[in-house]
Amino acid sequence: RSADYQTGSVSWSSPLRVAVTDDLRGVVTTFALDLKTAVGWDVAFVEAGTGGDLEIALDPALGPEEYRVVVDDVTVVTAGSPAGASYALTVLRQLGAVELWSPTRSTLERCEIARVVIDDGPVFPWRGVHLDVARHFFDVASVCRLIDLLAAHRLNTLHLHLNDDQGWRVEIPGWPRLTDVGAWRRSSPVGHEDAAMDDNTPHGGYFTADDLVHLREHAARRFVRIVPEIDLPGHAQAVIAAYPELGNVDEPLEVWTRWGISEHVLNVGAEALAFAEEVVRYVAGLFPESPVHIGGDECPTSEWERSPLAEHVMVEQGFGDARQLQRLFTHRLSAALRDEGHEVVAWDEVLDARVDPGTVICAWRSSSKGVEAARRGLDVVMAPMQFLYFDWLNSVEPGEPTAQAPVPYATTWQKVYGFSVVPPGLESELHHHVRGAQAQLWTEYISTRDHLDYMAFPRVTVFSEVVWGTPTTLEDVRPRLEVQLDRLAIMGVRFRTLDPEA
């Protein structure tokens, strides 16, 4: 928000002498481990006022994620919360030297830090990245690494998309076939879905409860909150492959081997509704502090329109249109989650029916869905595909790897930087409904960690400034971006290199 550079610099070397209050010891411990890993330095804990290098304390006058850094002979950090303190330490590493970001031991005798006074804090509380681990599975180590990268950009939310037609990715007690069968597919598309080619290579994997708790704790140390998503009743072909009785048709199904939207959705019987509730309650229980995403996107009604069971339920409920059936799930899952104290999040399709008050909408089809949500009194996370779907091409130029949307669609980092979190046309008295934004990494066309890096960066980097609420101009950000890419390079991130300046 403001950085006021003074003349000169201070010099840091090992051991770094730090004074910290008990409530921030955890934050400094994480920082100390990072420092040790990167450059082998030690942190020595000292008393405040004894001339250490760094003093760090909470200041209740600051907002929850705000912080102040005064780099001086004794550098002083104050913050509104441990999260704010962690952001301040991130900034100090940025001011220090690129080696401080190394994931393996590199050599650094000392570093110079410019004298500066920084007052900062984010405009938006929901600063997220979404990762689809259903289309392609990414293991615990890969997700932990992504969490570290988000934290390096002061992003605070990782939305994990845990199931889809092509795979179920969480072990659920009492439902072993979800992972024995539903977590594995026989084949995946090669090239673009439209080419209709198969690789005939099995793919799969899943997280155990322990894995998810490990991810949650890893994320918490970096002040990233995981928002789990179970997407039902659509996107359910993997569920139905495992438990055909939860579907609408008699023929056996396999976990889907194509991309797109499967027609196979859960049936609307009591058993399927109870299943959805049980699973969502279980996954939510692994993330007690988190909002929980119930999906709700792209649920075709063709099977319901042919189903005597669905017809019976429609008569019973007095529904005139099969679209309304989806609300049975949405409402039931929302109630169950609220009962456990979770906030409920859903994709913007739920706006097509009556929405339970308090539901947070992820606006993906366009920014105008965010406007619609806010006008209906709902909070919204902006995720419009035209700007924030990072499975789209990095550029329209030839040579880009196959991506979700074809040329002329592309989402350059410059386009991302021009994204306005508050949707154009939203009345100012409704701006408070905009919680923030998140970038989506759908993984139909992303099957490796290197390719995930290529699609995520540098777009996530520029997005982080946008969603922090402090973007400037393309000319201004470019040199800053180049420096951040040097840090990412040392971290081993295989980002897409910048095109030469036009």
Residues annotated as part of the active site: 164, 235, 298
Closest contact distance (angstroms) between CB of 41 and ligand TNX is: 43
Q: Is residue 168 close enough to count as binding ligand TNX by CB under 6 A?
A: no
Q: Is residue 267 close enough to count as binding ligand TNX by CB under 6 A?
A: no
Query: Cα–Cα distance between 273 and 253 in angstroms, integer?
Result: 20
User: Which residue is at the shortest CB distance from ligand TNX?
Assistant: 297
Closest contact distance (angstroms) between CB of 364 and ligand TNX is: 4
Q: Is residue 379 close enough to count as binding ligand TNX by CB under 6 A?
A: no
Tokens of 160: 């994990």
Closest contact distance (angstroms) between CB of 347 and ligand TNX is: 4
Q: Is residue 66 close enough to count as binding ligand TNX by CB under 6 A?
A: no
Query: Cα–Cα distance between 427 and 462 in angstroms, integer?
Result: 26
Closest contact distance (angstroms) between CB of 446 and ligand TNX is: 10
Instruction: Give whichever of 404 and 464 is closer to ligand TNX, judged by the CB atom.
Output: 404
Tell me, by CB under 6 A, how many residues bind ligand TNX: 9
Query: Cα–Cα distance between 60 and 124 in angstroms, integer?
Result: 19
Q: Is residue 290 close enough to count as binding ligand TNX by CB under 6 A?
A: no
Q: Is residue 389 close enough to count as binding ligand TNX by CB under 6 A?
A: yes
Which residue of 347, 413, 417, 454 would you call a contact of ligand TNX, by CB under 6 A? Answer: 347
Which residue of 75, 156, 404, 438 would you call a contact of ligand TNX, by CB under 6 A? Answer: 404
Instruction: Give whichever of 87 and 347 is closer to ligand TNX, judged by the CB atom.
Output: 347
Q: Is residue 297 close enough to count as binding ligand TNX by CB under 6 A?
A: yes
Sequence-separated (6 or more) residues with CB below 8 Å from residue 430:
374, 375
Q: Is residue 391 close enough to count as binding ligand TNX by CB under 6 A?
A: yes
Residue type, 375: R
Contact present, 178 and 172 (Cβ < 8 Å) = yes
Q: Is residue 263 close enough to count as binding ligand TNX by CB under 6 A?
A: no
Which residue of 41, 442, 457, 463 would you call a contact of ligand TNX, by CB under 6 A? Answer: 442
How far are the Cα atoms of 92, 218, 275, 362, 433 from residue 288, in angstroms, in the given order? 32, 15, 20, 21, 24
Report the run of H or E that residue 219 belongs to, with start and end: helix 209-221
Contact present, 383 and 367 (Cβ < 8 Å) = no
Query: Cα–Cα distance between 113 and 105 in angstroms, integer?
Result: 21
Do you know the residue count of the chain?
A: 502
Instruction: Give whichever of 329 and 364 is closer to ligand TNX, judged by the CB atom.
Output: 364
Instruction: Give whichever of 52 and 296 is closer to ligand TNX, judged by the CB atom.
Output: 296
Sequence-separated (6 or more) residues with CB below 8 Å from residue 479:
none
Sign of CA dihedral 327, 333, 336, 337: negative
Closest contact distance (angstroms) between CB of 23 and ligand TNX is: 39
Instruction: Give whichever of 326 and 404 is closer to ligand TNX, judged by the CB atom.
Output: 404
Which residue of 277, 298, 311, 343 would you call a contact of ligand TNX, by CB under 6 A? Answer: 298
Q: Which residue has the tokens 């990268």?
A: 149
Which residue of 41, 87, 364, 390 would you call a contact of ligand TNX, by CB under 6 A? Answer: 364
Q: Is residue 138 close enough to count as binding ligand TNX by CB under 6 A?
A: no
Closest contact distance (angstroms) between CB of 391 and ligand TNX is: 5
Report the run of H or E that residue 87 belongs to, with start and end: helix 82-96
Instruction: Give whichever of 106 and 386 is closer to ligand TNX, judged by the CB atom.
Output: 386
Exposure string (b/e) for 122-153, b if CB count within 10 Å is 16 or more? Answer: bebebbbbbbbbbbbbbeeeebebbbbbbbbb
Tokens of 8: 């000169």
List interacting residues with ligand TNX (CB under 6 A).
297-298, 347, 364, 389, 391, 404, 442, 444
